[in-house]
Amino acid sequence: MKRFECGTLVPGCDWHTRAEEEAEVTRRAVEHMRATHGEDVIRPSMVDHIKERIRDEQPNPA
């Protein structure tokens, strides 16, 4: 499972998402940037910054 926390890119933002695939996490993060943070143009560098911050989520021990 992959996880992205927006606060690692936009300080103070509590939004996060997770999905099995990095591509889906990236897609959701880009949509969040547009809808919440008013980013009309998502530059390749922004996508790179998002991807740099995607982490593998560790499963909770049972």
Residue pair 26/54 in contact by the 8 Å Cβ criterion:
yes
Residue 16 falls within a domain, yes or no? Answer: yes
Q: Confirm whether 24 is domain-assigned.
A: yes
pLDDT tens per residue across span 25-60 = 999 999 999 999 999 999 999 999 999 999 999 877
Token readout for 21 is 């695939």
Q: What percent of the chain has pLDDT over 90?
A: 90
26 domain-assigned:
yes
Q: Is residue 61 part of a domain?
A: no
Domain contains 62 = no
Residue 62: its pLDDT value, please? Answer: 66
Range of the domain at 14: 2-56
| pTM, full prediction | 0.89
Write down the mean pLDDT value for the chain. 95
Domain assignment of residue 23, yes or no = yes
- Partner residues linked to 17 by β-bridges: 4
Domains of the chain: total: 1
Which of 29, 9, 7 minimizes the C-alpha distance to 18? 29
Could you count the other beta carbons within 10 Å of the beta carbon of residue 13?
A: 15
According to the model, what pLDDT value does residue 12 have? 97
